[in-house]
């Protein structure tokens, strides 16, 4: 599993560098998704399978979808379809596809040849332990997190809606 850690660390760093150097938002988002998936493999190799699953579901799933929604909302011009055609050329997919294929191969290696969930340091800390700790020791933190999410929801709604005068004009 040490090899898995180092390879996915390299994939993470490479794809993060690609994120901050791209010009197109969509290309950067593709690389960012690969970076998050590689981070999930790192968590898995460190013995944190629950957090690895959360990383894929919440970060690479939900948060990236939010980004893509906003990018799509911002490009409602007449030249949008032309731009889309330029952005999604097949060769733009090659870089992220190669990095994702590396992750896929090493995940297969970790599952089939690595001998189960053998990890780098000590015992794996599973979802049960995390849940016990989360809802006993850190119960107050969970409540605060729920208030934070509510505040985020209200704030996003308030900031994201159109002004009434603007609606009447259009």
Partner 1 sequence: MAAVSMEHGLILAGVLFALGLIGVLVRRNIIFMLMSIEVMLNASGLAFVVAGSNWGTADGQVMFIFILTMAAAEVAVGLALVLQLYRRFKTLDVDAASKMRG
Count of residues engaged in binding partner 1, rule: CB under 8 A: 66
80-98 in b/e burial notation, b at 16+ Cβ within 10 A?
eeeeeeeeeeeebeebbee
* Among positions 81, 82, 86, 129, the unique one binding partner 1 when judged by CB under 8 A: 129
Decide: is 97 part of the binding site for partner 1 (CB under 8 A).
no
In angstroms, rounded to a whole number, what is the distance separating the alpha carbons of residues 155 and 147? 12
In angstroms, rounded to a whole number, what is the distance separating the alpha carbons of residues 48 and 121? 11
x-or-dash pattern for partner 1, window 42-71, by CB under 8 A?
xx--xxx-xx--xx--xx--xx--xx-xxx
Any residues with CB less than 8 A from the CB of 147 and at least 6 apart, and which?
A: none
By CB under 8 A, which span of 15-23, 78-86, 93-101, 107-115 interacts with partner 1?
15-23
Number of H helices, E strands in the chain: 9, 0
By CB under 8 A, which span of 78-86, 95-103, 106-114, 159-167 interacts with partner 1?
159-167
Site for partner 1 in 102-121 (CB under 8 A): 119-121
Q: Which helix (H) or strand (E) element contains residue 140?
A: helix 139-160
In angstroms, rounded to a whole number, what is the distance separating the alpha carbons of residues 37 and 15? 10
Decide: is 17 part of the binding site for partner 1 (CB under 8 A).
yes
Least separation in angstroms between CB 163 and partner 1: 9
Decide: is 99 part of the binding site for partner 1 (CB under 8 A).
no
Calculate the alpha carbon distances from 144 to 51, 139, 147, 150, 153 in Å: 20, 9, 5, 10, 14
Q: Which residues form the interface with partner 1 (CB under 8 A)?
A: 2-3, 5-6, 9, 12-13, 16-17, 19-20, 25, 28-29, 32, 35-36, 39, 42-43, 46-48, 50-51, 54-55, 58-59, 62-63, 66-67, 69-71, 73-74, 119-123, 125, 129-130, 132-134, 137-138, 141, 145, 148-149, 151-153, 155-160, 162, 166
């Amino acid at each position: 599993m040490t090899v898995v850690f180092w390879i996915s660390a390299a994939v993470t760093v490479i794809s993060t560098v690609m994120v901050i150097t791209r010009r197109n938002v969509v290309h950067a988002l593709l690389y960012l998704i690969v970076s998050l998936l590689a981070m999930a493999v790192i968590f898995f190799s460190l013995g944190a399978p629950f957090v690895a699953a959360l990383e894929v579901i919440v970060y690479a799933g939900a948060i990236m979808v939010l980004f893509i929604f906003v990018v799509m909302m911002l490009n409602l011009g007449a030249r949008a379809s032309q731009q889309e055609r330029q952005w999604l050329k097949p060769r733009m997919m090659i870089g992220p596809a190669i990095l994702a294929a590396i992750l896929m191969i090493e995940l297969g290696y970790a599952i089939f040849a690595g001998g189960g969930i053998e990890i780098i340091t000590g015992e794996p800390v599973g979802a049960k332990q995390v849940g016990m700790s989360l809802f006993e020791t850190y119960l107050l933190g969970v409540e605060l997190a729920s208030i934070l999410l509510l505040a985020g929801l209200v704030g996003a709604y308030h900031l994201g809606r159109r002004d009434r005068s603007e609606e009447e004009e259009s």
